[in-house]
């Protein structure tokens, strides 16, 4: 990694071109620009002078040519992000990319494929954990029905979970004074939680309450959306790269880009980094269950179930791939979601909406998590070393393919 060639006027020029191209792309897809806190004049210019997708692609090619031969991490990141702009522009012009091509071009990674038999073996373990009448899916939901956070307890439980994530994060990562977030509860969304980064170290975190929020989601969402996940990631990028180094490309975040694999992967890996299984069980059982008015005696079995359910997470990728490529019908995909992924029926319908809206984005959560975990854990043996590597990964321009050994 060379930093001496990472601040050239040429790279600054390409970075500015890139930001303006992403703003121009945002005119073609309202969900494309996830966060922007750069010069307001650039946004005004993008609005006042809309650019065609063909024009955007030509300009992206020009910017890519300027990067030729530069092997710095910053240049590689700009190149990879620009290539994702080209892919998204192709898709918006009607190009029908298969799932793996889409994930390679947008997210710089490809998920492994698993067949139904692979997941059936994992479902069999859950079958054994929860003996009784009815399908495995029904037994999972019978247990989960006892673990819903009541609506009037949701804010207190989420606040406690986020506070715990923040305390653990601050033991390893210094954050700038004044960093903060607002927590909101919303409905009618295809996702379960979202972090909208506003710049100046501030986030708006939204939790979707369309569906029941189960007690395990408090730690998951708190760590993922806030500390040490998305909020911390964005704060570190702003402090260390945008302000610290003047790398303007980080004042914008295009959702369908390799940066999302790093963002979602670190946000998910941050959960287990913050809480070992034993610490998490103790915290949930002693703090969150009582706050939610739930029976703490259920906690150990539910934690065991969630450990097994987590191993089914790649089924999301396999179901999305087959559904989006047409080898599973909508009804067949719903059946897989219920009986293979073991989602409740209403959650399964929400997942199809998510695949329709987001395409191959699903790989960023589980594959991103595994790639971030493997990378971080290769950098050292102790938990303190893992936190240090995690912090470095979140404030460096390392692209997904560079996480691989
Ligand atoms: Zn996320």
CA of 230 to the centre of ligand 1 (A): 7
Q: How confident is the model at residue 345 (pLDDT cuts 50, 70, 90)?
A: confident
Confidence at residue 201, expressed as pLDDT on a 0 to 100 scale = 98
CA of 225 to the centre of ligand 1 (A): 6
Return d(Cα 77, Cα 401) in angstroms, integer.
10
- In tens, the pLDDT along 274-329 reads 999 999 999 999 999 999 999 999 999 999 999 999 999 999 999 999 999 999 99
Q: How confident is the model at residue 71 (pLDDT cuts 50, 70, 90)?
A: very high
CA of 70 to the centre of ligand 1 (A): 31
Q: How confident is the model at residue 7 (pLDDT cuts 50, 70, 90)?
A: confident
CA of 226 to the centre of ligand 1 (A): 10
CA of 194 to the centre of ligand 1 (A): 6
31, pLDDT greater than 60: yes
CA of 66 to the centre of ligand 1 (A): 32
CA of 267 to the centre of ligand 1 (A): 6
Q: Mean per-residue pLDDT for 177-189?
A: 96
Q: Mean per-residue pLDDT for 107-135?
A: 97
Q: At what angle do helices 258-274 and 383-394 cross, to 10 degrees?
A: 160
3, pLDDT greater than 50: no
High-pLDDT (> 70) share of the chain, %? 99
CA of 372 to the centre of ligand 1 (A): 14
CA of 259 to the centre of ligand 1 (A): 11
190, pLDDT greater than 90: no
Q: Mean per-residue pLDDT for 74-83?
A: 98
Return d(Cα 91, Cα 101) in angstroms, integer.
11
CA of 48 to the centre of ligand 1 (A): 31
Confidence at residue 346, expressed as pLDDT on a 0 to 100 scale = 84
Which residues make Cβ contacts (< 8 Å) with residue 146, sequence separation at least 6? 294, 295, 298
- Give the sign of the dihedral formed by CA 162, CA 168, CA 364, CA 85: positive
1, pLDDT greater than 50: no
Classify residue 310 as exposed, middle or buried by CB count within 10 Å of its CB (0-12, 13-18, 19+).
Answer: middle
Using omega within 30 degrees of 0 as the cis cutoff, is the peptide bond preceding 228 cis? yes
Q: Which two tokens stand for residue 314?
A: 């790649």
What mean pLDDT is reported for the chain? 96
Which residues make Cβ contacts (< 8 Å) with residue 127, sequence separation at least 6? 136, 139
CA of 68 to the centre of ligand 1 (A): 32
pTM comes to: 0.96
Q: Mean per-residue pLDDT for 386-390?
A: 98
Q: Which 3 state secondary structure label does DSSP give 209?
A: coil
CA of 115 to the centre of ligand 1 (A): 26
- In tens, the pLDDT along 263-277 reads 999 999 999 999 999
CA of 17 to the centre of ligand 1 (A): 27
CA of 341 to the centre of ligand 1 (A): 19
Q: Which two tokens stand for residue 265?
A: 């992967």
Which H or E run contains 205? strand 202-208
CA of 73 to the centre of ligand 1 (A): 24
- In tens, the pLDDT along 211-259 reads 999 999 999 999 999 999 999 999 999 999 999 999 999 999 999 999 9
CA of 4 to the centre of ligand 1 (A): 33
Residue of 44, 61, 16, 66 lying closest to 252 (CA atoms) = 16
Return d(Cα 321, Cα 333) in angstroms, integer.
10
CA of 400 to the centre of ligand 1 (A): 16
Q: Mean per-residue pLDDT for 181-187?
A: 97
CA of 301 to the centre of ligand 1 (A): 27
CA of 245 to the centre of ligand 1 (A): 25
CA of 221 to the centre of ligand 1 (A): 9
CA of 252 to the centre of ligand 1 (A): 16
């Amino acid at each position: 990694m060379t930093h001496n060639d990472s601040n050239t006027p040429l790279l600054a020029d390409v970075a500015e071109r890139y930001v303006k191209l992403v703003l121009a792309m945002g005119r073609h897809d309202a969900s494309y620009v996830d966060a922007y806190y750069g010069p307001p004049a650039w946004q005004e210019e993008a609005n006042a002078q809309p650019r065609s997708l063909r024009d955007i692609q030509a300009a992206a090619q020009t910017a890519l040519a300027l990067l030729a031969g530069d092997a710095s991490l910053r240049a590689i990141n700009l190149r990879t992000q620009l290539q994702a702009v080209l892919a998204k522009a192709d898709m918006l012009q009607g190009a029908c990319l298969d799932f793996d091509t889409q994930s390679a071009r947008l997210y710089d990674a490809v998920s492994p494929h698993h067949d139904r038999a692979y997941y059936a073996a994992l479902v069999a373990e859950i079958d054994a954990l929860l003996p009784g009448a009815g399908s495995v899916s029904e037994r999972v939901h019978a247990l989960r029905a006892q673990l819903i956070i009541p609506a009037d307890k949701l804010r207190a439980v989420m606040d406690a979970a986020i506070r715990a994530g923040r305390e653990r994060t601050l033991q390893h990562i210094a954050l700038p004074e004044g960093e903060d977030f607002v927590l909101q509860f919303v409905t009618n969304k295809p996702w379960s939680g979202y972090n909208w980064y506003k710049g100046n170290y501030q986030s708006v975190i939204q939790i979707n309450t369309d569906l029941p929020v189960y007690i395990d989601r408090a730690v998951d969402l708190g760590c993922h959306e806030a500390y040490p996940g998305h909020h911390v990631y964005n704060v570190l990028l702003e402090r260390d790269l945008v302000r610290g180094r003047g790398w303007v490309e980080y004042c914008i975040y295009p959702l369908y880009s390799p940066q999302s694999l790093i963002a979602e992967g670190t946000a998910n890996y941050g959960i287990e980094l913050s809480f070992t299984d034993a610490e998490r069980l103790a915290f949930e059982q002693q703090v969150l269950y009582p706050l939610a008015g739930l029976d703490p005696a259920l906690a150990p079995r539910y934690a065991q179930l969630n450990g097994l359910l987590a191993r089914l997470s790649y089924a999301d990728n396999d179901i999305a791939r087959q559904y989006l490529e047409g080898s599973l019908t909508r009804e067949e995909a719903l059946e897989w979601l219920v009986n293979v992924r073991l989602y409740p029926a209403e959650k399964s319908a929400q997942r199809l909406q998510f695949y329709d809206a987001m395409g191959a984005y699903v790989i960023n959560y589980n594959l991103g998590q595994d790639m971030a975990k493997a990378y971080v854990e290769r950098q050292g043996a102790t938990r303190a070393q893992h936190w240090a590597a995690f912090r470095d990964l979140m404030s460096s321009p390392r692209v997904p393919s560079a996480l691989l050994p």
